Amino acid sequence: MPRPTASILFGVTSDQTLVVLRPRILALRRAGFSIAVLSSPGPHHDRLATELRSGLQSELESEVESGQGIAFYPIAIRRGIAPLADALAFLRIFVLLLRLRPAAVDFSTPKAALLGLIAARLLRIRLRIHTLRGLRAESANNLLRPLLLLAERLTSSCAHVVLCNSPSLLQQATLLSIAPPRKLRMLAHGSSHGVDLDHYHPGISPLRAKLGIPPDAQVFGFVGRLTRHKGIPELIDAFDQIAPAYPNGWLLLVGWLDQSEDSLSPALARHIASHPRITLTGFVEDVAPFYRAMDIFILPTHREGFPNAALEAAATALAIITTTATGARDAVVPDQTGLLVPPSDSAALAAAMRRLLDDPALRRQMGNAARAWVEQNYAQQDVLDATVSYFQEMLPEPVPDSMRAAP
């Protein structure tokens, strides 16, 4: 394996986001870049660090297996507004960047990006990237929205490049003047890491029996955090509307009740837990078999960057129902691979659910088209190759490998 040619530090707020970053980190490491990873402490941070250092992944090359050139730094960062905690997190990020002096930083998620890119600009890091994975302001109330937009603009002003995760996110960032057009860019067709088509594929799953779902059930599925901005209240309302007319209808929620600022109400959480035809799994390490237990995938989100779950469901040959929200609408070719409905509209969602339940041939046709569309546009290796090529273009000259021996 070649000696690392440049050092890149990735920073995110929550350790949960490391699940999304993992393929990108490994692709860049294989290409010879040394990598540092910064996130809040948590199980995902610990799991990824342990996995790479112990060499449990047989597909990795030996130098990557031993963890050389990949360092992890836990720094507590709060999602919400917390002035004292934010000041402390900023100081720790600044000191870390001062110590490592990476050639490039790539910060994403709102709080980590704001603090990290301000610090990186003060230190004049050679390449400062803001990866935009969605606009939280889009689902904020009227009082918070201007503040969040101001924060996004400040973050982007500290970056050389703002990488948008989807075509509609690039369009929306332009309309909202998040950054000058010269800074805004999207790699390939979008997506953070594409889809592993060998892992996410159509087939039979034994999970229905294990989950207590009847074999003849017609299963709607959702994958992700259960929060208000993911549209869970509308999804439950829509399912309640159609359930009496479809006694074989079932709702499989693959995810967990996230205790964030937009967590579900206790009453709705109790309703989900007590409903005889709703199955909630909690956090799942590998969601691929769960897609194969579904008939139709639903993501009634209010905002996205580019939903990985929808692409994974498409690779599994599922018809998809999602919304016209930014990012989400890029995950469906309307009326070919799935259906689009307005966000926050449970009646329209229920109508789309009825349409696909009543027409099995249509949902099979859409599922097959979805698989072909993902194969053509979002194969993981193609997306990662575009990412590696971009960093090689932006960092063509070797620099001292300051992070290789970092703990």
User: Is 405 a residue whose pLDDT tops 60?
Assistant: no
The pLDDT of residue 189 is: 95
Please check whether residue 47 lies inside any domain of the structure.
Answer: yes
Please state the rounded mean pLDDT for residues 41-55.
Answer: 75
202 located within any domain: no
56: left (phi over 0), alpha (psi -120 to 50) or beta: alpha
∠157-160-165 over CA atoms, to 5°? 90
Give the pLDDT score at 258: 82
Query: Has residue 153 been placed in a domain?
Result: yes
DSSP 8-state secondary structure symbol assigned to residue 223: E
125-148 confidence digits (pLDDT tens):
999 999 999 998 888 888 889 999
Does residue 200 form part of some domain? no
Does residue 403 sit within a domain?
A: no
How do residues 285-307 score in pLDDT, each as one tens digit? 899 999 999 999 999 999 999 99
Q: What is the pLDDT of residue 399?
A: 53
Strands 161-164 and 127-132: parallel
Domain containing 371: what range? 207-377
What is the band of 46 on the pLDDT scale with cuts at 50, 70, 90? confident
pLDDT tens digits for range 348-391: 999 999 999 999 999 999 999 999 999 999 999 999 999 999 99
Residues 88 and 157 in one domain: yes
DSSP state of 2: P
State whether the Cα torsion 326-332-338-339 is positive or negative: positive
**Residue 166 and residue 284 share a domain:** no
| Least confident among 84-98, 180-194, 248-262 | 248-262
C-beta separation of 336 from 148 below 8 A: no
Arithmetic mean of pLDDT over the chain: 91
- Could you tell me if 112 and 218 lie in one domain? no
Q: What is the mean pLDDT of residues 193-213?
A: 95
Are residues 136 and 212 both part of a single domain? no
Q: Are residues 388 and 309 in the same domain?
A: no
Same-domain status, 276 and 189: no
Residue 247 lies in a domain: yes
Helices (H) and strands (E) in the chain, counts: 15, 13
Percent of the chain's residues with pLDDT above 90: 80
Domain total in the chain = 2
Do 271 and 184 fall within a single domain?
A: no
- From residue 144, alpha-carbon distances to 81, 97, 170, 228, 382 in Å are 11, 30, 22, 16, 38
Are 322 and 298 within 8 A, CB to CB?
Answer: yes
Same domain, 333 and 359: yes
Mean pLDDT across the stretch 73-102? 93
pLDDT at residue 57 in the model: 45
pLDDT at 335 over 90: yes
Q: Decide if 163 is inside a domain.
A: yes
Q: For residue 117, what is the domain's CATH number?
A: 3.40.50.2000
Across the range 326-339, mean pLDDT stands at: 97
Note whether 310 and 190 are same-domain residues.
Answer: no
Token digits of residue 400: 């001292």
Same domain, 223 and 168: no
Query: What is the structure's pLDDT at 44?
Result: 77
Residue 2, in any domain of the structure: no
Same structural domain, 188 and 315: no
- How much is the pTM? 0.90
Residues 18 and 166 in one domain: yes
